[in-house]
Amino acid sequence: MLRIILVGIIALLLPFKMVTADTLSDVKSSGKLIFGLEAGYKPFEFLDENNKLVGYDIDVGSEIGKRLGGVEPTPKDTNWSTVIQSLYNGDFNLILGGMTATEERYKRVNFSYPYMDASSGLLVMKDSGITSPSMLGGKTVSAGAGTPQINQLNLAAKEHGISYNGDIKTYDKDEVAYAAMRSGRLDAYASTLVSLLAFAQTSDDFTVIPFTSNMWKAEYTAMAFRKEDESFRSAINQIIVDMKNDGTLASLQEKWFGQSFVDLLPNEAPTW
């Protein structure tokens, strides 16, 4: 009987074989900071014309690596729908990939202090006549797969007493949604306001509508950690505070988003 129990315990632990008790020590001893993300979320992380992974998160990760004693920043492109499971499998040390802190995710991970605002927005064509979420009745709407904007679109429909044209469509890549809008297959795309504003600056065809409601609280982008990685999370939180205080975070936000959002970010991790 004891043997059966031990076998069962070992089987449960196998998926987590790469995870150790002190991730901070592991990062420093290995000389690498491995962080999970999914390329295709411009300007947070995307492939440039030379097929190089670049973006706000890449620069933030590089700066954190320097401040951890010169460890090598190593972004790891992964499937976003299973990114938290991959974190617990030991595929990377943390998630640094434009993740919005949500109550559902908080059940599985702990969050860092916010390093970016994650308020939501709606991208629409300039000639669509849509100026408010209340005007989306009968429209084809969408959001990124696995993002909180899906729930927000559902709440908006309830709040405004409207029905969309069919189910909310989901896309794995922002670029696919943008193409669908240009072709007339999509009327509105919900995502983080900062990413939509950055995209809208590159095209005269689109406009962005702030997507807010009393039905959900302020949103922030934060890094995600395994529940047991408290010493590691604490070290990263201090680095975030230092980057805010010395202007580094503001500079990176201005580089990738055209403005700084640092004043909106509390030195407090999102919790529920």
User: Which comes out higher in pLDDT, residue 47 or 17?
Assistant: 47
- Domain spanning 120-211: which superfamily? Periplasmic binding protein-like II (3.40.190.10)
Per-residue pLDDT at 200 exceeds 70: yes
pTM above 0.85, yes or no: no
| Residue 215 binned pLDDT confidence (cut-offs 50, 70, 90) | low
Beta carbons of 8 and 82 less than 8 angstroms apart: no
pLDDT value of position 216: 67
Per-residue pLDDT at 78 exceeds 60: yes
**Domains 7-117+219-264 and 120-211 belong to one CATH topology:** yes
Question: pLDDT digits over 224-256, tens only?
Answer: 999 999 999 999 999 999 999 999 999 999 999
Helix (H, G, I), strand (E, B) or coil at 172: coil
Per-residue pLDDT at 104 exceeds 70: yes
| Residue 6 binned pLDDT confidence (cut-offs 50, 70, 90) | very low
Distances (CA, A) of 103 to 37, 93, 99, 191, 260: 20, 21, 12, 17, 26
Return the H-helix or E-strand segment holding 170: strand 169-171
Residues present in the chain in total: 272
Cα–Cα dist 23/19, whole Å: 8
Return the H-helix or E-strand segment holding 231: helix 230-245
Read off the DSSP letter of residue 80. Answer: G
**What's the average model confidence in pLDDT over 189-200?**
90
**What's the average model confidence in pLDDT over 260-269?**
93
**What's the average model confidence in pLDDT over 181-209?**
92
| Residue 20 binned pLDDT confidence (cut-offs 50, 70, 90) | low
What fold does the segment set 7-117+219-264 form as a domain? D-Maltodextrin-Binding Protein; domain 2 (3.40.190)
Which residues lie across from 211 on neighbouring strands? 120
**What's the average model confidence in pLDDT over 107-117?**
97
Q: Compute the mean pLDDT over every residue in the chain, rounded to the nearest whole number.
A: 90
**What's the average model confidence in pLDDT over 169-179?**
91
In this structure, what is the dihedral angle of CA atoms 211, 213, 216, 219, given to the nearest 10 degrees? 40
Cis preceding linkage at 133, omega within 30? no
Question: pLDDT digits over 124-159, tens only?
Answer: 999 999 999 999 999 999 999 888 899 889 989 999
pLDDT value of position 40: 85
What share of the chain in percent tops pLDDT 90?
A: 73
Of 5-9, 75-79, 166-170, 193-197, give the lowest mean pLDDT range.
5-9
Distances (CA, A) of 71 to 28, 63, 97, 184: 7, 10, 19, 47
Cα–Cα dist 24/241, whole Å: 18
Read off the DSSP letter of residue 40. Answer: -
Cα–Cα dist 92/32, whole Å: 10
CA 91, chain centre distance (Å): 18
Cα–Cα dist 225/14, whole Å: 19
pLDDT value of position 182: 94
Distances (CA, A) of 15 to 12, 35, 151, 174, 187: 7, 18, 30, 31, 42
Q: Where are the domains of the chain?
A: 7-117+219-264, 120-211
Cα–Cα dist 11/29, whole Å: 28
